[in-house]
Amino acid sequence: MSLHPDSSLTRLFTPRSIAVVGASATPGKIGAMPVSLLRQHGYDGRILPINPRADNIQGLPTAPDLAALDGPVDLVILAVPAAQAAQALACARPGQVGGAVVFTSGFSETGESGVAMQAALCDIARSRGIRLLGPNCLGFMNVRHNVYATFSPAPANGAVAPGGIGMVSQSGAFGAYAYCMARERGLGLSHWISTGNEADIDVADCIDWLARDADTRVIMAYMEGCRDGGKLRRALAAAREAGKPVVVTKIGRTQAGAQAAASHTAALAGDDAVYDALFRQYGALRARSIEEFFNLGYALDTWKQRPAGKRLGIFTISGGVGALMADEAQEAGLSLPEPDLAAQARLLERVPFAGPRNPVDVTGQVVSEPGLLLATADDMLADGRYDALAVFLAAAGSSEALWPTFETFAREMRARHPNVPLALCALFPPERRRELERLGALVFVDPSAAIRTIGAVSGLEAGDAVPEQVEDAATSDAGSNALSRSGLQRDAYNEVQAMEVLREAGLPVPDCTLATDADAAVAAAVRLAGPVVLKVVSPDILHKSDIGGVKLNLSGEDAVRAGYAAILDSLRLHRPDARIDGVLVAPMAPKGVECIVGVHRDPIFGPVVMFGLGGVFVEVLKDVSFRLAPFDHAQARAMIGEIQGYALLQGARGAPPCDIDALADALVALSRFAHVHRNDFASLEINPLLALPEGQGALALDAVLIPNTAVDAQ
């Protein structure tokens, strides 16, 4: 983990002095809340109320404005109307103020005049070296250092415990609710940050800073959109490098949600599928609901040791619920290996009618023989075949008489099997639940939620490698060839040129020749020494086959010559106007599975690579996966495996399995090319990219490359 936190954010989030502009003595007022919260929670830095109309606020002497303060102020809280905010900051001397939190609304979220006011505020802050949180935000809390720079009433109704979760939310309302949920569920926070309008500091900045913050182990983030895709990527990479899992909720999964999000944020939210790809790529766990958001945060925070792999042991006192848990485990991608045969035998010795496989079902017997609990778990876990253990205790959890058994169980499990995190499913009274959590166990009421959560957080460390960095890739292989030095041409590419570009980018393409007369076509066919295909190449013809522009499977000089003539005849007849660059001579393609690969430029995240299967898969089922370019072989394999039609590549319907490694290599090469030339092209599609049988590679058979003619092209 590299410890280079943004020191300006560190000064803002861990201030030694806080000025409150618009500090008020009237309880409940937005300017009264921070002063009283800071004092109530024992903040031990300086609190400097600023109010030109009062000498004294809540017992503290005031200053009329920032200029009247002698020393440096790490943090300024602005709780004045929008129109006065810029003016208040303008009183600061350059370097005097580290950061400002702007509670006030009425800026960019309200329309044009608000946008202008926000820009003016930013200008003043920038000119004085002040970092801005907000405006239109609920502020932040540094829970461990008692910094309550917020006017949210949430902490007044009860403070969360200090802990390892750094929480950041673009939305104040979501953030306040999440704060209350954390309190209810007993999660401990390091920081709570709401970013609001994100005039300067955004969610990505906070993730990046929390990734390097020593008090934070787990990051929980809520976002509605993002304006700087590269920054978000770097932030997620920093968190991954630091070994801090990121749980993220982003709105706008569906069309209805995206529409609602767009009208709410009035900002470009971007394509949700691209965010989804981003989160997968950087190992961030995307939560679809607030419940899931908290289940994930809860597991990642409570378990000091996370499951190293996907092998789950299920231990139940109800065979039926065990089966329900097995259902969920399969859907969550967990495996359920059986216990060692010797362990099964020991289990059956103890409880003859038990289910000795996995789920291991010791039946209600455990109620009269509490020792079964630990004995069974010991047997299951003796040979290290499980990465986590989920236990369903049915109604027994509510039994006061059995509490000592459960408490001992959790304690001993931690002592004897520290590498096998434990989840208990039962209805415990709240104080019992907290006790078990302190012993390192998760407690769930719903066993299915327990399994889903385990599935999501299992094997996180496995894919530990940080994805290729945006900055680094420019110096990679794809960047060192002729194309990248010169950039792509500005004119449209014909098929031959497009294929040539792909070849230089390292993609497998057939040995094609553009023939401009029949002799050249014959020569090319002779050189290829096998049946060939002829295809007209013209910028004016999209559907070549429809007008006789393609001839397949031609063998021998005569056939090639005749085919060439037939194509030209047909074109003269059907499209006398068309410009003709020539006729492409290529070997007949072998049999394979047709895939479609595309690259488009996302306005936020740059080039995005799409993968899918040909035919109905892309066109009807929209069965595609995405990754942000560039990416590595493992990511490419993952994106291939994500599509529903994956079985077809594995050899469905009696066909041989495809060369998935070669397919992945092609995707990697394309992703590097797309990254290096990210400003040069608008879109690129390879259709089909043929997946050949295992060991035989892949082959790009046709490509369309549209150069970028936009102003940002270099």
Instruction: Out of 140, 148, 209, 222, point to the residue binding a second copy (CB under 8 A).
Output: 222
Contacts of 202 (CB under 8 A, 6+ apart): 170, 195, 226, 227, 228, 231
Closest to a second copy by CB, 197 vs 484, is 197
Instruction: Out of 337, 353, 438, 526, point to the residue binding a second copy (CB under 8 A).
Output: 353
Q: Where are the alpha helices (DSSP H) in 420-508?
A: 430-438, 447-457, 470-473, 482-486, 495-504
Binding part of the chain for a second copy, among 275-283, 318-326, 408-416, 550-558 by CB under 8 A, reads 318-326
C-alpha–C-alpha distance, residues 25 and 18, integer Å: 17
Query: Would you list the DSSP string of 643-673?
Result: STTHHHHTT-TTPPPB-HHHHHHHHHHHHHH
- Report DSSP state, residue 311: B
Which 3 state secondary structure label does DSSP give 228? coil
Instruction: Out of 61, 81, 95, 153, point to the residue binding a second copy (CB under 8 A).
Output: 153
C-alpha–C-alpha distance, residues 164 and 218, integer Å: 6
Instruction: Out of 25, 119, 120, 427, point to the residue binding a second copy (CB under 8 A).
Output: 427
Report the run of H or E that residue 237 belongs to, with start and end: helix 229-241
| Positions 633 through 652 that interact with a second copy (CB under 8 A) | 644-645, 647-648, 652
C-alpha–C-alpha distance, residues 563 and 573, integer Å: 15
CB of 537 to a second copy, least distance (A): 26
CB of 589 to a second copy, least distance (A): 20
3-state SS string for 133-199: ECCCCCEEEEHHHCEEEECCCHHHHCCCCEEEEEEEECCHHHHHHHHHHHHHHCCCEEEEEECCCCC
| Positions 444 through 463 that interact with a second copy (CB under 8 A) | 445-449
Terminal-residue alpha carbon distance, the chain:
36
- Report DSSP state, residue 493: P
Binding part of the chain for a second copy, among 261-269, 476-484, 519-527, 541-549 by CB under 8 A, reads 261-269
| Positions 530 through 559 that interact with a second copy (CB under 8 A) | none
CB of 651 to a second copy, least distance (A): 11
321 binding a second copy? (CB under 8 A): yes
| Positions 107 through 136 that interact with a second copy (CB under 8 A) | 109-110
> Across-strand partners of 177?
none
301 binding a second copy? (CB under 8 A): no
CB of 178 to a second copy, least distance (A): 9
Return left, alpha or beta for 122; rule: phi > 0 is left, psi -120 to 50 is alpha, else beta.
Answer: alpha
Residue with tokens 């766990």: 285
Contacts of 271 (CB under 8 A, 6+ apart): 602, 608
Distances (CA, A) of 306 to 210, 221, 303, 455, 462: 20, 20, 6, 11, 11
Instruction: Out of 179, 279, 611, 626, point to the residue binding a second copy (CB under 8 A).
Output: 179
CB of 353 to a second copy, least distance (A): 6
Closest to a second copy by CB, 320 vs 371, is 320
526 binding a second copy? (CB under 8 A): no
Closest to a second copy by CB, 326 vs 580, is 326
349 binding a second copy? (CB under 8 A): no
Burial classification of residue 365, based on how many CB atoms lie within 10 Å of its CB (0-12 exposed, 13-18 middle, 19 or more buried): middle
Closest to a second copy by CB, 169 vs 513, is 169
399 binding a second copy? (CB under 8 A): yes
Count of residues engaged in binding a second copy, rule: CB under 8 A: 83
Binding part of the chain for a second copy, among 39-47, 126-134, 441-449, 695-703 by CB under 8 A, reads 441-449
CB of 73 to a second copy, least distance (A): 28
Closest to a second copy by CB, 526 vs 647, is 647
Query: By the 8 A CB rule, do 69 and 75 touch?
Result: no
Burial classification of residue 577, based on how many CB atoms lie within 10 Å of its CB (0-12 exposed, 13-18 middle, 19 or more buried): exposed
184 binding a second copy? (CB under 8 A): yes
CA 219 remoteness from chain centre: 12
428 binding a second copy? (CB under 8 A): no
C-alpha–C-alpha distance, residues 550 and 639, integer Å: 33
Instruction: Out of 254, 475, 545, 555, point to the residue binding a second copy (CB under 8 A).
Output: 254
Instruction: Out of 2, 26, 263, 714, point to the residue binding a second copy (CB under 8 A).
Output: 263
| Positions 40 through 79 that interact with a second copy (CB under 8 A) | none
472 binding a second copy? (CB under 8 A): no
Dihedral pair phi/psi, residue 563, rounded to 5°: -60, -45
Q: Please give the structure tokens belonging to residue 359.
A: 């789920």
Instruction: Out of 123, 291, 383, 540, point to the residue binding a second copy (CB under 8 A).
Output: 291
Maximal C-alpha separation, the chain: 103
| Positions 615 through 634 that interact with a second copy (CB under 8 A) | 615-617, 619-621
Q: Helix, strand, coil % (nearest 5) of the chain?
A: 40, 20, 40
CB of 277 to a second copy, least distance (A): 17
Instruction: Out of 202, 224, 468, 495, point to the residue binding a second copy (CB under 8 A).
Output: 224
Distances (CA, A) of 126 to 12, 39, 94, 131, 239: 14, 30, 9, 7, 27
687 binding a second copy? (CB under 8 A): no
CB of 327 to a second copy, least distance (A): 3
CB of 175 to a second copy, least distance (A): 9
CB of 350 to a second copy, least distance (A): 15
CA 374 remoteness from chain centre: 38
Instruction: Out of 208, 213, 271, 361, point to the residue binding a second copy (CB under 8 A).
Output: 361
503 binding a second copy? (CB under 8 A): no
Closest to a second copy by CB, 256 vs 711, is 256
257 binding a second copy? (CB under 8 A): yes
CB of 391 to a second copy, least distance (A): 13
> Across-strand partners of 102?
78
Binding part of the chain for a second copy, among 391-399, 481-489, 533-541, 626-634 by CB under 8 A, reads 391-399
> Across-strand partners of 149?
140
336 binding a second copy? (CB under 8 A): yes
- Rg of the chain, C-alpha, whole Å: 31
CB of 366 to a second copy, least distance (A): 10
